[in-house]
Amino acid sequence: MRVSFSRVKEGLAIEIIQIVGVALISTFLALIVKEQKPNFAFLLIVFVGCTIFLFLIDQIYAIIHMLEVIAVNAKVNIIYVETILKIIGIAYIAEFAAQITKDAGQGAIASKIELAGKILILAMAIPILSVLIETIIQLIPN
């Protein structure tokens, strides 16, 4: 098992080097292009951000699969795991969109995206919170 874990770690180290390399090159390119064509520079940054996100899809899938296996082995209701994964997804997507919006100079809209993400997270967490409260109440002796 240690061999496979070390290979995975090496693969992740190479991936982060690739991501950072693409990001740095894109940043320098955007800085150069921004003086002449600011709209094109912004589109370049958005494209690179989306590309980096798509590059990570395999890792995201592996994490989700691992969490599902752990939940099944721990006999946890899969609905709760799915809800938590959706909450995490909302947080990442809202953060990503807010950062892109801030890069476009629209801080007010970015803050609204963050607020919407927080409200959606709270709405999705209510069923889990209610089950948690019910479980705690059952544990308290009368």
Instruction: For residue 124, give the nearest of 97, 72, 89 by alpha carbon.
Output: 89
Whole-number Å distance between alpha carbons of 14 and 130: 43
Mean pLDDT of 13-37: 91
Euclidean distance between CA atoms 25 and 118, whole angstroms:
33
Closest Cα to residue 46, out of 111, 95, 90, 104? 104
pTM above 0.85, yes or no: no
pLDDT band per the 50, 70, 90 thresholds, residue 6: low
The three-state (H, E, C) secondary structure of 9-30, written as one string: HHHHHHHHHHHHHHHHHHHHHH
Chain segment 86-109, per-residue pLDDT in tens: 999 999 999 999 998 998 889 999
Rounded Cα distance between 79 and 105, Å, is: 39
Q: What is the mean pLDDT of the chain?
A: 87
Give the span between the Cα atoms of 90 and 94, in whole angstroms: 6
1 CA to centre of own chain? 28
Nearest by Cα to 86 from 126, 51, 59: 126
Lookup result for tokens 């969490």: 67
CB of 104 closer than 8 Å to CB of 113: no
Structure tokens at 27: 């940043």
Question: Tens digit of pLDDT for each residue in 108-130?
Answer: 999 999 999 999 999 999 988 89
DSSP secondary structure string for all residues of 59-74 = HHHHHHHHHHHHHHHT
